[in-house]
Amino acid sequence: FVHGFATSGHLWRDVVSLMPPGRRLVVLDLLGHGRSDPPETRPLTLHAHAGRLVALLGALGIESACVVGHGMGGAIAQSLALHWPQRVTRLALLSSFAFGDWPPRDVKIARATLAITRRLPPAWLLSMVRTQLERGYADSLRATHSIDKYGRPFATPDGRDALVRHIAALDARETGALAARLGEIAIPTSVIWGVHDPFILISLGRRLAAAIPGATFECVPGASHFLPEDAPRQVADALTTLFAR
């Protein structure tokens, strides 16, 4: 399971608990997120994240795996499937970044004002981030609890600097380049979307599924962007179906 701005273990906790037994589950915190190390000067492109994921699989002795990616993690999963296809047996993309139709407007504004953003007190910047992330939840109470966890690595001056680097690294040209090759993906693929996702519209999810040969598309009623938390049962069921393909 791969995610972007989150403590991934927390995001996937309920989904993992609902998965059928007998499978090895690895939940990844990307470099600079959750409990992973600070990024320092290491590259934060989608391709660089995917390369580190391949290295992790190697370190764990995993030759190939079903890769599940949410949000930015979905874009990283696309990169992995296209650049290291032998390492991916199945692919699940949940409310995934794709094509050139992201980042959302608010992220684009943040990138355009990085000279100011990098000078904000960490608490101010996290407050702004919180306001935006809350829109991605169907349940406001869950949003409050989860975002508290997500923001912890960025609550210091060093954390703020890392967050600014993450924002600066978001580049739709990377997913635009991947989009031209989506037709090369030849493994069972499932695209799963929250109906009420305010960040990445469901129309993009349908377009993504149509671009990958044989991919299925499932929209989850009542779920927003963070659908692994909004609808863990539906996500677990969709993944179980994918595993059987």
Q: DSSP letter for 91, please.
A: E
What residues contact 178, with CB distance under 8 A and at least 6 apart?
46, 75, 78, 79, 82, 98
Residues in the chain: 245
* Spans of the chain, pLDDT less than 50: none
Q: What is the pLDDT of residues 100-140, one digit of tens each?
A: 877 666 677 777 777 887 888 888 888 888 888 899 999 88
Q: What is the pLDDT of residues 48-69, one digit of tens each?
A: 999 999 999 999 999 999 999 9
pTM of full prediction above 0.75: yes
